[in-house]
Structure 1
């Protein structure tokens, strides 16, 4: 008997994209290239992903976020994957305040979470709050989500509270006449904005004047804004699931549209591997690299 849509259990591709952070195009490419995932089909021929495949996709996404390449992951056997995942997990040796923060997320205690983030900000200062707390905490939260300790809504709560904390701290440091003038954004199809805020939080205490356009700015509009605002630097953030080849093509095109005096920064660890030569482009593997790049820019101006 032919399956009907009610007979088939699974998530549509749009829900899997939201749940895992993997783009629809990425899922389709993996299906063709690696034979996984293997979605079912509803009566209309649309893909439906069983729960066990979605769980595996979460695990694959976490390994990729830690720097592994998809080809290596898909070529590994089950025991090797289990070893990698065990090695990447958050152990009980994780700092106590990390575990406490994650428990606050799990309990949806947003006000307590806000206060704890604020206390750490006051204790560490803005730049160390980013490098010493947020960078490792982002990994911990992602791993907790992969294990199923927190839900998608919990992770969204975390992102929202961190963004609110950073925005308030950055606003308190705002210097309209600062230098250099830096324009921050992401390319179309790049939805992750936390990297932009973290970069701005590193730069604001150094006196830089930062303006964020948020996410998904078309290239032509970005080039126009950079020229109209007389910016010195255009900084873009790329998450791990943004294809490096697509990023390089966009950066090369943006470079052609920008005046030579405007420097390009591209943040994303995976972009630093086999980076092509593009004049006036500085790649940033770690969030702390923005300060090194800033010093380099200041040296050229001097």
Structure 2
């Protein structure tokens, strides 16, 4: 698959993930964090395993040595990230959460450089910084007063921890896919399954009887959207991209999520757009292109074994 097709897949992924912010906002009013984590991936299991059975029947059951990396990826990248993310929304503002989430490409690249001997070119570094500046401008709408009101709290620490979990997951997944002969589809399916299993005791601790009876069809449909589009398709496309172009170049696409979230907010919720948001969107897109374009002579996205 060409780099152009990979970029297209990741753009689609960011659209799916941006839609999850809208549906997640609906669902979080009816379900607690661990329940959202559990049901989101429980609903995704039949579809992802059906795809695995049809496309890769030989990979339907992992071998003995493949279980430890799958368990680690499922715990860190699926369970921990989502549990921390949903919990952080109880304590922090949307602006803080979005800005910290936009740090994911930088955290991923930093960890790749330190622990995986990733070579960081000046153009890629410039693209990462440029896209983060664009996200900052896009979210704050150029309002310096909002910037001065930024405060760091418990929710921010939880979100920062979630970002680190997702960065570790992204980096380890490519390494483990090579080392243990794991396909992107197999990783996606079994990390979902492991997340569901780990979530069960936490789900019971939240007392499902207290909210399931009052949950509306709107809330359940919101979870279903996150299951099919944000989880099954989003995670699968991300795994394919990580395998092909590496975790740091894949992670930079996350900066497109706020842009597509605003576009969907305008078209679905009727919110307005401003000049600063348009400028921020253009800066982010430029930064994403600079940070993810193929190098002319050396493939710097390869992570050392």
Higher gyration radius (CA): 1
Which protein is richer in strand relative to its size? 1
- Which TM-score applies when normalising by structure 2? 0.24
TM norm structure 1: 0.24
The structure carrying a bigger helix percent of its residues is: 2
